[in-house]
């Protein structure tokens, strides 16, 4: 679902239990419900959200367990998923949101010249999400505020 609140595009999906806000000038380039991609109009900032749903027995109780899922995947350690580079930071955010706290990561891929921000969220519910945002290192200072706003808007939604 996409709703325009006058300042942002408010995206949510009732079957995959997530929500986030994008600036109005962003373009959604791919939307499967459980996976969505978008970029700013100038194509200098990008985002990718993936939501995984779980059988009750497989639900991840928190963001740390979800990160561990990627670190111990059947394919080996594939953390960070959809990002590369050197980890610059790991912090807990969104303690007041459903399923919080979420884990926020920052990576710098100096080989590709790309700066990544990520959020991993899971709270024992039917889904977990990974939000990945990136920009070239040269563009990052100009889009950082917008990327941080998107990152801070993402949230898990309670199962109805």
At 59 the pLDDT is 94
pLDDT above 90 coverage of the chain, percent = 84
Residue 7 has pLDDT above 80, yes or no: yes
The closest alpha carbon to 106, from 126, 86, 121, 125, belongs to 86
Question: Would the pTM of this model clear 0.85, i.e. be above it?
Answer: yes
Q: Is the pLDDT of residue 160 over 90?
A: no
State pLDDT tens for residues 71-109.
999 999 999 999 999 999 999 999 999 999 999 999 999
Is 57 in contact with 90 (CB distance < 8 Å)? no
Residue 118 sits in a domain of what CATH number? 3.40.1000.10
Count structural domains, the chain: 1
Residue 105 structural domain: 2-156
């Amino acid at each position: 679902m996409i709703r325009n609140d006058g300042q942002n595009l408010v995206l949510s999906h009732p079957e995959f239990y997530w929500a986030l806000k994008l600036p109005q000038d962003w373009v959604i380039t791919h939307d499967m419900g459980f996976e969505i991609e978008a970029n700013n109009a100038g194509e200098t900032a990008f985002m990718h959200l993936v939501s995984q749903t779980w059988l009750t027995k497989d639900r991840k109780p928190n963001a740390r367990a979800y990160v561990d899922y990627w670190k111990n995947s059947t394919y080996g350690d594939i953390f960070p998923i959809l990002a590369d580079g050197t980890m610059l930071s790991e912090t807990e955010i969104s303690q007041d949101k459903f399923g919080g706290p979420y884990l926020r990561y920052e990576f710098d891929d100096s080989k590709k010249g790309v700066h990544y921000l990520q959020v991993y969220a899971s709270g024992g519910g039917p889904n977990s999400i990974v939000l990945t945002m990136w920009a070239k290192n040269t563009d990052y200072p100009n889009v950082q505020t917008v990327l941080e706003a998107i990152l801070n808007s993402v949230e898990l939604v309670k199962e109805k």
